[in-house]
Amino acid sequence: MFEFNSIVVLSDKKDKQYMITLKEGARFSTQYGYIEHNDIAALDEGDIIKSTLGHPYLVYKPTYMDFVMNIKRQAQIIYPKDAAAMLMWCDVAPNQKILESGIGQGALSLAILRALAGTGSLTSYEIRADFAEQSAKFIKQFMGETPANHVIEVRSIYDGIDGTYDRVLLDLPEPWHVVPHLKTGLKNGGLIVAYLPTILQVKTYVDALKECGYFSDIETAEFTRRPWKVDGMSVRPEMWIYNHSAFLISARKLKNI
Ligand SMILES: C[S@@+](CC[C@H](N)C(=O)[O-])C[C@H]1O[C@@H](n2cnc3c(N)ncnc32)[C@H](O)[C@@H]1O
């Protein structure tokens, strides 16, 4: 059974996904007729339902990837392949005190909150009030409630960081302005990971990390995803590829000198 106001995915045999919020009395309309939301609500995850013209749809709750890839977005998100790498490179784990900036759509925040699993805390600094508000709704929509361990502050991280964090994750245009604030904003031994689309940004940021003198283990990498087609005797890389998204730069804070 699915609850009204929850989100469900309808996936057809061509693997086309439709993500909808169930509303009592509403209809999901398609080129193959329609399906009553009330009929979907009565199903179990993994059931198949047919539209009025007989087209079958598999019904299930969205995964993190379904949700962030299918939602109508206001800001560019960090795609799951990079969000996954950021969580590993930043060693995000329960009970940590984490700072991220900016929040944008909230896709990375959601990944961090899931890794924290209700423990520790996530603070998000976001310069735009509209993104702060919209991302809070996005997170609540997926998690069902506003997580008690998440605080969004409308402010520029370039102006400073209050407190000291175990981990910092950055997705904003000029992270080199954050480096001076990490002297006290990131604990010694703590990790920081930044996401930067262009290599000129990477160069400026890495230079700033090196020049400040309190970072070691500075690494830059790009993570690629290469899908393959496996269909009968046709087993080969797909003809299309994911192109460039961004570079990830990780570093570890040294004792202040
Ligand atoms: C690309 S979006 C972040 C997307 C987010 N990581 C996600 O996965 O949904 C970049 C965000 O950084 C915010 N931003 C830019 N400069 C900032 C600053 N100085 N302090 C705080 N937020 C900032 C922007 O308003 C924008 O919301």
Q: pLDDT tens for residues 159-215?
A: 999 999 999 999 999 999 999 999 999 999 999 999 999 999 999 999 999 999 999
Whole-angstrom distance, CA of residue 26 vs CA of residue 41: 11
Instruction: Note the pLDDT of residue 257.
Output: 60
Q: Are 36 and 90 in contact (CB under 8 A)?
A: no
The conformation of residue 155, written as its DSSP 8-state character, comes to S
101 lines ligand 1 (CB under 6 A): yes
Question: Which amino acid is residue 228, in one-letter code?
Answer: W
Average of per-residue pLDDT across 137-145: 94
Query: 256 pLDDT band (50/70/90 cuts)?
Result: low
Whole-angstrom distance, CA of residue 59 vs CA of residue 168: 37
CATH number 3.20.20.150 is the correct assignment for the domain at 7-62: no
Average of per-residue pLDDT across 72-90: 94
Instruction: Note the pLDDT of residue 72.
Output: 86
Average of per-residue pLDDT across 70-83: 92
Q: Are 12 and 56 in contact (CB under 8 A)?
A: yes
Nearest C-alpha neighbor of 156 from the set 187, 139, 138, 132: 132
Mutate to test the pocket of ligand 1, among 108, 123, 126 (most ligand atoms within 8 A of CB): 126
Domain with CATH 3.40.50.150 in the chain: 67-253
Class of domain 67-253: alpha beta
Which element (helix H / strand E) includes 210? helix 199-212
What residue owns the CA closest to ligand 1's atom 13? 102
For residue 74, pLDDT beyond 80: yes
Q: Which of 128-163 are b and which e, b meaning 16 or more Cβ less than 10 Å from the residue's Cβ?
A: beebbebbbebbebbeeeebeebebeeeebbeebee
Distance 67 CA to ligand 1 centre (A): 20
Question: Which amino acid is residue 184, in one-letter code?
Answer: T
For residue 15, pLDDT beyond 80: no
77 lines ligand 1 (CB under 6 A): yes
The conformation of residue 102, written as its DSSP 8-state character, comes to -
- Cite the beta strand spans of the chain per DSSP E: 7-12, 17-21, 27-30, 33-36, 48-50, 56-60, 97-101, 121-126, 150-154, 165-170, 186-196, 215-221, 228-231, 234-237, 247-253
Question: Which amino acid is residue 246, in one-letter code?
Answer: A
131 lines ligand 1 (CB under 6 A): yes
112 lines ligand 1 (CB under 6 A): no
Mutate to test the pocket of ligand 1, among 73, 74, 103, 169 (most ligand atoms within 8 A of CB): 103
Domain with CATH 3.10.330.20 in the chain: 7-62
Mutate to test the pocket of ligand 1, among 109, 172, 196 (most ligand atoms within 8 A of CB): 172
Average of per-residue pLDDT across 86-101: 98
Place of tokens 């995000």: 92
